[in-house]
Amino acid sequence: MEDMKGIILEYVIEEYADDEDDEITFDTPLISGGIVDSFSMVSLKRFLETKYKISIPDDKATPEAFDTVNKIVVLVKEFL
Amino acid sequence: MAYSDKIKELYKNQLNSIQEAGLFKQERYIHSSQAADIEVEFPTGSSIKKVINVCSNNYLGLSSHPDVIKAAHDGLDTRGYGMSSVRFICGTQDIHRELENKVTEFLGTEDTILFPSCMDANAGVFEAILTSEDVMISDRLVHASIIDGMRLCPAQHDTFKHSNMEHLEKKLQLHANKRLKVVINDGVYSMDGDTAKLDKMAELCEKYDALLFVDDSHSSGFIGKTGRGTHEKCDVMGKIDIITTTFGKALGGASGGCVSGRKEIVEMCRQKARPYLFSNTIAPVVVSGVLKVLDILSQSTERRDKLEKNTAFWRKGLTEAGFVLKDGDTPIVPVMLFNAKLAQDVSKDLFDLGIYAIGFFFPVVPQGAARIRTQISAGHEMHHLEKALDAFIQVGKKYKILGKTKQEIIDMYGC
């Protein structure tokens, strides 16, 4: 679990953080905080599906479910 | 009656939520032609106020140019008011094709197809030329119309960090196995006023065998030495595969847009782009006006040269006064205030002083990046800019933000 959290956080920072961004933590609101726009969320979904060999249905891949690293971990575990 | 009280209540609640979130958009009625000096009724019902407009896309001051108005009158007289048909039935006049040819020549491309707007061009182009075997890789700050167009297209999509060429290259490598790859970006970004790195992008597209798409709506007519757009500025004329642009900004400001680029891609749009197939094209009166605009711009660079000088004066004045600006050299000059309420208050005070400039805040721009977006025009004379600058300084002093850094402004007002 901790390992998964770390891996996802690392991907989020690498993929979405700009130099000016504040530190991103497990509870930083990504979508509602404007760090990840809903259109760019698709690369995160693709990363999770490839990395954990799962398929997340579109109706589960909501902005709410992707809003923090902690919530993403819960979502991924649902499909493992 | 199908429109029941329950449905009415539902919409009223949604509208209330928009209002409570401070996102309710209210129009301001202008009682004059679009120009540097305009007469505005705001709030609705109040007396009309003469103000200087520093927030329009009238970059070249051609929206009310007498020669353009005369050409539009002539077009109305000789080609009528409307077409009452889509292009491929009986909605194409000689002047529509004449405009397509002139745009092709102006932009230095192979062919052009007109659309009712650039919003429609962006909505239609991707679906017309891509399939589910392809990928669209877009800059994260592209215009909303491009995002809508990508959503309508079955190709996969991905994004890269704004103007970050290393990130773009990674994405091109990630999608190496796709049938077609299209790199998508704005020429000049409408909120920040920065220019795309088209030279680097063209190199990457060559290296990874990708198509390059640019929306030059905030560039056509004035960016580059002869105003051809960002591809001229970045010295990559002929290397952009797809350019979309609008006639609703610098090029007369009325309406209409186009896709210009590779011959086969334009032809695919003519066969398959739905906003082209299922909507009337640009009205003859507007076509006639845009033809005159292109004549004016092809004869002289006087207006874009004046715009460049005005922009340099404005940017220097604001910088010396101590405002925090976004870096850049285009006529889009964002004055950064960071806090949404501060941006709204500054906009209101400027209006009271006779300057019309609008505050932008989340979700139009990122959280904590609220601003007044100023846009300079060749229609501005020095007295307009001096008066506007005086007003900005007066308001800047009132809020004690002159000479302050980003962090100091955020410490004072929050973000």
**In Å, how far is B318's CA from the nearest CA of chain A?**
23
Q: Which phi and psi angles does B68 have, rounded to 5°? A: -70, -40
Among B180, B204, B186, smallest CA distance to B139 is for B186
B362 in reach of chain A (CB within 8 A) = yes
Q: To the nearest whole number, what is the mean pLDDT of chain B?
A: 97
Query: Does residue B149 have a pLDDT over 80?
Result: yes
Residue B139: how many other CB atoms lie within 10 Å? 23
- List of residues 6+ apart from A19 with CB closer than 8 A: none
Alpha-carbon gap, residue B74 to B409, rounded angstroms: 53
Reported confidence tier of residue B367, pLDDT bands at 50, 70, 90: confident
What average pLDDT score do residues B329-350 get?
Answer: 96
B70 in reach of chain A (CB within 8 A) = no
**From the list B158, B362, B363, which residue is nearest A42 (CB)?**
B158
Query: Does residue A2 have a pLDDT over 70?
Result: no
Among A10-19, B79-88, B172-181, B381-390, which stretch is predicted with the lowest mean pLDDT?
A10-19
Reported confidence tier of residue B154, pLDDT bands at 50, 70, 90: very high
- List of residues 6+ apart from B28 with CB closer than 8 A: B40, B41, B42, B356
Q: What is the pTM of this model?
A: 0.94
What is the predicted pLDDT for the residue at A56? 94
In chain A, the percentage of residues whose pLDDT exceeds 70 is 92
- List of residues 6+ apart from A25 with CB closer than 8 A: A9, A69
What is the predicted pLDDT for the residue at A71? 96
Fold of B66-299: Aspartate Aminotransferase; domain 2 (3.40.640)
Query: Does residue B1 have a pLDDT over 80?
Result: no
Note if B218 is an active site residue: yes
Reported confidence tier of residue A22, pLDDT bands at 50, 70, 90: low
Secondary structure of residue B181 in the 3-state scheme: strand
What average pLDDT score do residues B74-103 get?
Answer: 98
What is the token pair recorded at B3?
Answer: 């429109």
- Which residue of B140, B162, B192 is the best one to mutate when testing the A interface, meaning the one whose CB has the most A CBs within 10 A? B140
Domain boundaries, given as residue ranges, for chain B: 23-53+302-413, 66-299
Catalytic-role residue among B190, B220, B260, B377: B190
Instruction: Kindly list the residues from chain B whose CB atom is less than 8 angstroms away from the CB atom of residue A43.
Output: 158-159
Instruction: Kindly list the residues from chain A whose CB atom is less than 8 angstroms away from the CB atom of residue B363.
Output: 34
**In Å, how far is B167's CA from the nearest CA of chain A?**
8
B406 in reach of chain A (CB within 8 A) = no
Query: Does residue B96 have a pLDDT over 60?
Result: yes
Q: Which domains does chain A have, with CATH numbers?
A: 2-79 (1.10.1200.10)
What average pLDDT score do residues B280-293 get?
Answer: 98
What strands lie across the sheet with B49-53, from one edge to the other? B29-30, B37-41, B49-53, B355-356
Among B111-115, B361-365, B370-374, B379-383, which stretch is predicted with the lowest mean pLDDT?
B361-365
B363 in reach of chain A (CB within 8 A) = yes
Q: How many CB contacts within 8 angstroms connect chain A with chain B?
A: 22
B274 in reach of chain A (CB within 8 A) = no
What is the predicted pLDDT for the residue at B117? 98
Instruction: Kindly list the residues from chain A whose CB atom is less than 8 angstroms away from the CB atom of residue B147.
Output: 39
Q: Identify whether the C-beta of residue B344 lies closer than 8 Å to the C-beta of residue B359.
A: yes
Reported confidence tier of residue A37, pLDDT bands at 50, 70, 90: confident
**In Å, how far is B323's CA from the nearest CA of chain A?**
19
Write down the number of H helices and E strands in chain B. 16, 14
Reported confidence tier of residue B135, pLDDT bands at 50, 70, 90: very high
The top-level CATH class assigned to B23-53+302-413 is alpha beta
Note if B170 is an active site residue: no
Among B270, B298, B283, B276, smallest CA distance to B103 is for B298
What average pLDDT score do residues B36-65 get?
Answer: 97
For residue B78, count CB atoms less than 10 angstroms from its CB and return exposed for 0-12, middle for 13-18, buried for 19 or more: exposed
What average pLDDT score do residues A17-23 get?
Answer: 72
Catalytic-role residue among B249, B306, B326, B384: B249
**In Å, how far is B36's CA from the nearest CA of chain A?**
35
What average pLDDT score do residues B350-356 get?
Answer: 98
Query: Does residue A21 have a pLDDT over 60?
Result: no
Give the residue on A whose Cα is nearest the Cα of B158. A43
Among B120, B122, B182, B123, smallest CA distance to B156 is for B182
Query: Does residue B46 have a pLDDT over 80?
Result: yes
Residue B344: how many other CB atoms lie within 10 Å? 18
What average pLDDT score do residues B9-31 get?
Answer: 92
**From the list A18, A34, A40, which residue is nearest B159 (CB)?**
A40
Tens of pLDDT, residues B59-82: 999 999 999 999 999 999 999 999
Cβ of A37 within 8 Å of Cβ of B140? The answer is: yes
**Does residue B19 or residue B251 have the better pLDDT?**
B251
> Could you give the count of Cα atoms lying within 13 Å of B179 in the half-sphere of its Cβ?
8
ipTM of model: 0.87
